[in-house]
Structure 1
């Protein structure tokens, strides 16, 4: 399942540089997560790094993009292959 940033985001800028997949970017009013790039850090870390650093707990799982660990791993592998 990809993650999403809610409107509780305070634009503190700490999540964007933590994302190993470059899935986080500044949106019109708050940061946004590209569900096509978000693997919840599967393949990189044991826990989502953006969630770890968020001071306001505004990064839940996105119910519109439900994925299991195998799907997240496959997405990670596809993203890494595209970087080569």
Structure 2
């Protein structure tokens, strides 16, 4: 069974990027990626659904912290 992404971090020198998950969901792959032949991509679908994780990235570099929200859904 597919699992949502977990919190993770990668660092290069003094710069680090952390993924901060805040949810996941199963979606119809044909709506998100129309025309893709999923039979050529075994293991990507679970019961015909594509499991995606949602979250943000926290970037720490040069004494600064930058939060990048990936925004899922309608924006104003």
- Give the TM-score, by structure 1 length: 0.25
Query: Max radius of gyration: which structure?
Result: 2
Higher relative contact order (CA 8 A, sep 6+): 1
Higher helix share: 1
TM-score normalised to the size of structure 2?
Answer: 0.27
Q: Which is richer in strand?
A: 2
